[in-house]
Amino acid sequence: MTGFASLPPVAAAGPAHDELEVLQDIHGVLAGERFALLTGAGLSTDSGIPDYRGPGAAPRAPMTYQEFVAEPENRQRYWARNHIGWSELRRADPNEGHAAAARLEHRGLLTGLITQNVDRLHEDAGSINVVDLHGRFDQVVCLACHRRYSRGLLAGVLEELNPGFLERALAAGVVEMAPDADATVEDGGLIKGFVVAHCPACGGTLKPDFVYFGENVPKDRVERCYAMVDRAGALLVAGSSLTVMSGLRFVRHAAKQGKPVVIINRGQTRGDQLATIKLHAGVSGALTWLAAELPPL
C-alpha cells in the first residue's frame, strides 16, 4: 500500500491557455474585493487524501451518526477502521493550494476561510481565521461528559488495547481510504476482536470530533460562516461539489445578496447554476495563480 507520506510532491504547473482565460476573468471579479473562501475535499487531494465525490472517487456509504450510537458493533467497526485511517491521514502535509489560501489571508484578501475538510491542513499551512465547518479529525469528544481529547493520545491508547492490530490490518490489505480517516479493510476477523476505548473521565462513548452524516453543524459555527460571507464582496468556492447543504447554503446566501460566486472544481457542483464564473480545473494550481496575481488590499 502507498501511504500519504510516501506520495510524490505535486508540481505546481502553470494553467493551460483556456484555464488562464477563465482565471483572468475570475481575477477581474475578485480584484479589489475582500472575499470569503469555501474549500472542500478537492483541495486536499493533492496532499494524497482522497475525496468523496470527485471524478474517479469510489462510491462510499459513510457511517451515519445514528448508526454509530445505535450499536456497540458499529462503534467497534468504526474505531477499528478509523485507527487505520488515522495512522495514514496524520502524515499528510499541506499542498500548494493550502499555502496559497494562507497567502490570500495574510495579504488581507479574505474575510475568512470556511473549510468542509476535517484534516486541519489549512491551519498547518498558516491560515488563521478558519472555521472547520465539519469539525476536526485530530480531536475526539465524549458523548456523555463532552470532554475533548487529542486523537493522537487516543491512538496510543488504542495501540495498547490492540497490540499488533495495525500491522495485521495493513498486511491484510487496505482497499480504500477516506477524507474522514475512515478505511475499508479486508476484515478476516480483525475487526471482530478490536477493543474500543472509552472516555477516561466517565467511561462514556468517544466519537471523532467532526460532524457525521445525519448530524447538524453547530449553530454558532454556521453563524460565523454566514458572517464571513456577509462581510465579503464575493464568495470563492474551491474544491467542493457542494453536494451537502452545509456548504451549499453559503453559496445560496451570497447569491441572494447579489454577490459574485466563483466556483473552481473538477466536475459539476450543486451550485453551478448560481455561479458567476465556473472553472473546471485543479484547485491547487488555480489558487496559487490567484494568490500571486491578486493585488493586496
CA torsion sign, 74 to 75 to 80 to 85? Answer: positive
Locus of grid cell 467511561: 203
**Band of pLDDT at residue 84, cut at 50, 70 and 90:** confident
pLDDT at position 167 is 87
- CATH architecture of the domain 64-93+136-210 equals 2-Layer Sandwich (3.30)
**Band of pLDDT at residue 11, cut at 50, 70 and 90:** very low
Query: Please, what's the largest Cα pairwise distance for the chain?
Result: 60
Segment 100-108 shows an average pLDDT of 98
pLDDT at position 135 is 96
CA distance 277 to 6: 36
DSSP 3-state assignment of 110?
Answer: strand
pTM exceeds 0.95, yes or no = no
Q: How many residues are there in the chain?
A: 297
pLDDT at position 81 is 87
CA distance 6 to 8: 6
CA distance 62 to 39: 20
Locus of grid cell 488515522: 86
pLDDT at position 50 is 79
* Rounded percentage of the chain residues whose pLDDT exceeds 90: 74
pLDDT at position 47 is 93
Amino acid at 119: D
Position 255 pLDDT exceeds 50: yes
Position 266 pLDDT exceeds 50: yes
pLDDT at position 174 is 57
Position 40 pLDDT exceeds 90: yes
Amino acid at 135: G
Residue ranges of the chain assigned to CATH 3.40.50.1220: 16-44+95-134+217-297
Grid coordinates in use for 229? 460571507
Query: Which residues lie across from 43 on neighbouring strands?
Result: none
The answer to whether residues 22 and 277 touch, using CB atoms and an 8 Å cutoff, is: yes
pLDDT at position 1 is 29
Position 53 pLDDT exceeds 60: no
CA distance 241 to 212: 18
Say which range, 167-176, 214-223, 251-260, 277-286, has the weakest mean pLDDT: 167-176
pLDDT at position 14 is 57
**Band of pLDDT at residue 18, cut at 50, 70 and 90:** confident
Say which range, 89-93, 118-122, 197-201, 240-244, has the weakest mean pLDDT: 89-93
The answer to whether residues 234 and 35 touch, using CB atoms and an 8 Å cutoff, is: yes
Query: Which residues lie across from 278 on neighbouring strands?
Result: 263
- CATH architecture of the domain 16-44+95-134+217-297 equals 3-Layer(aba) Sandwich (3.40)
CA distance 198 to 11: 43
pLDDT at position 5 is 32
Segment 236-265 shows an average pLDDT of 97
- Based on the residue annotation, tell me whether 134 is a catalytic residue of this protein: yes
Grid coordinates in use for 215? 448530524
Position 7 pLDDT exceeds 50: no
Residue ranges of the chain assigned to CATH 3.30.1600: 64-93+136-210
Segment 122-140 shows an average pLDDT of 97
Average pLDDT, the chain: 88
Catalytic member of 83, 98, 122, 134? 134
pLDDT at position 186 is 57
